[in-house]
Amino acid sequence: MTSVTVMSKKIEQNWFSLAEYDLATAKAMLQTKRYLYVAFMCQQAIEKILKACYVKRLASTPPYTHNLLRLIKELTFKGEMGDEMMGAIEELNSHYIESRYTEDIEELTRQLTEVKATSILESTEGIFQWIKARL
């Protein structure tokens, strides 16, 4: 195994570990009823596991982006994902910008109920497992 391969494997594993950590954080945020951060951490978990796949499949540094749709396109996953999964990804994609750069946090907090946050977390767990199977 070359030193480049070893380094790529370490980078891939780092992205994956961060993704697992973010998913666990999303679960903790649900338990503490911090629904805005459930959605944000779910987005982060999928972003990071996609970046792990990027390193593994393309042997390259992932682009500096939070856009899940861009990462999926570059990984050529879109054709493999069904409409339901792509819809969930599109929703997650919106939570990065909304949860970090909005001035109306109260409005977002009202929109993200326990039922909605639970649904986002459940769909994220399914997407996470789907991507993990492709690592």
For residue 13, the model assigns a pLDDT of 97
pLDDT per residue over 21-58, tens digit each? 999 999 999 999 999 999 999 999 999 999 999 999 99
The mean of the pLDDT values for the chain is: 91
**Calpha distance 80→56 (Å, rounded):** 18
59 touches 12 (CB < 8 A): no
Q: Are 68 and 91 in contact (CB under 8 A)?
A: no
- Identify the structural domains of the chain with CATH numbers, from first to last: 3-132 (1.20.120.330)
pLDDT at 106: 73
DSSP, res 80 = G
pTM: 0.91
